[in-house]
Structure 1
Amino acid sequence: MRNHLVLILSIFFIVSIPSYSQNQSDSDFKEEVKTIEKLTIKSLKLRQQVNPESEDQELIKEMNILDSTLLHKVTLFLNEYGWKSKKEIGELANMGLILAIQHSSKEEMESFKEIIEKAYQEDKIEKSSYALYVDRLKVRNGLPQIYGTQYYYDEKSASLRFNEIEDFENVNKRRRKVGLSKIEKYAKQNSIALD
């Protein structure tokens, strides 16, 4: 009888431990997603206050700290769970993954290249977000961009201007493939000089 009771208790613990572990893992995953969402909201709100001509050093410092915090959380998340689609973690958290990487250093952006390429191939990342990543990395490496998503503030003309665009004549074809509007419309919406 005693052996029978020990056997039943052993089976109970063997069955219940993985279940507890799974629940804890799900809970951790959801908590990580919530943290990324909260940091993403903060980042988006703060970015609305900063423009290319901004000289508010306190605001820029706050944004840099927030970018660093979000990147740290995203790096831990990606190492633990890999890239997750909007369906898996929601639109906001998915946006947070790319936002953190977009605003990291050139070296950090390079370090995420393989995981972003894989996410793009598996349709887990928005095509337009992928285009932004590709263009930003190209510009940071001193190369012409592909999709025409990157621009800068030109002090001489006191206007926004596009960074160099490869094969400008066909940029709208490439933009259409990744769900971006025509470059003329994009330029008008963002007051970017197109000359």
Structure 2
Amino acid sequence: MKNYLILIISIFFIVPFCSYSQNQSDNDFKEEAKAIEKLTIKSIKLRQQVNPESENEELIKEMKILDSTLLHKVTLFLNEYGWKSKKEIGELANMGLLLAIQHSSTEEMESFKEIVERAYQEDKVEKSSYALYVDRLKVRNGLPQIYGTQFYYDEKSASLRFNEIEDFENVNKRRKKVGLAKIEKYAKKNNIVMN
């Protein structure tokens, strides 16, 4: 009888505590995702103001601070909760996970490679966003890009140009697989000179 009473009292205290812990964890999860979403919106708006042809140092400094803040939040989130799909955290927060990584240093991008690959395999990353990540990392490592998403401002010709693209003849086939428009359309939209 005494053991039975102890068991009942234990259940009375443990069950509500577990329930409270779960609710608190869900709230933390949602708050963190909301914070990432807000920073992502801010980052997108700020990037829309940047003109690749003229460097606004104040804007670039603000962007670097924002990138660092977003990366810190994303790193903590990934360590705590892992990569979440847009269904779980919303489209903008999901986009923010990869946005933060893409705008980090090459070493940081490399350090996230395994988790990005896994998230892509599990359909937790948009195919087009994954293509941007792959291309940016390749270009930063001095390799030809796969999907033709990366370009630079060429001062000699005063125009935007694509970074080297591997197997250019088949780039549109690869772009189609990840939901990207034909490279000619992409070039026209972004005023990129086709070589």
Instruction: Confirm or deny a common fold (TM above 0.5).
Output: yes
Structure 2 segments unaligned to the other structure (5+ residues): none
Q: Secondary structure at the match of 1:96?
A: helix
Measured after TM superposition, the shift of residue 9 of structure 1 is 3.5
Match of 2:70? 70
Letter in 2 for 1:142: G
Residues 115-194 of structure 1: pairs in structure 2 closer than 5 A: 115-194=115-194
| Separation in structure 2 between the aligned mates of residue 127 and residue 165 of structure 1, nearest angstrom | 18
Distance across 2 between alignment mates of 1:122 and 1:2? 51
Indicate yes or no: 2:42 matched with 1:42. Answer: yes
> Identity rate of aligned residues, in percent?
86
Partner of 2:22: 22
Deviation at 1:51, TM superposition (A): 1.8
CA distance in 2, matches of 1:47, 1:151: 15
Deviations 1:22-47 (CA, angstroms, capped at 9, x unpaired): 00000000000000001001101110
For residue 27 of structure 2, give the secondary structure of its aligned residue in structure 1: helix
Q: What's the secondary structure of 1:173's corresponding residue? A: helix
Cα displacement (A) at 1:55: 2.1
Tell me how many residue pairs correspond in the alignment: 195
* Correspondence for 1:10: 10
TM-score, length-normalised on structure 1? 0.96
Q: Deviations over 1:135-194 (max 9, x none)?
A: 000000000000000000000111000000000000000000000000000000000000
In the alignment, what sits opposite 1:58? 58
Write the deviation string for residues 102-124 of structure 1: whole angstroms up to 9, x where unpaired: 10000000000000110111111
Aligned CA RMSD, in angstroms, stands at 1.5
Displacement of 1:98: 0.7
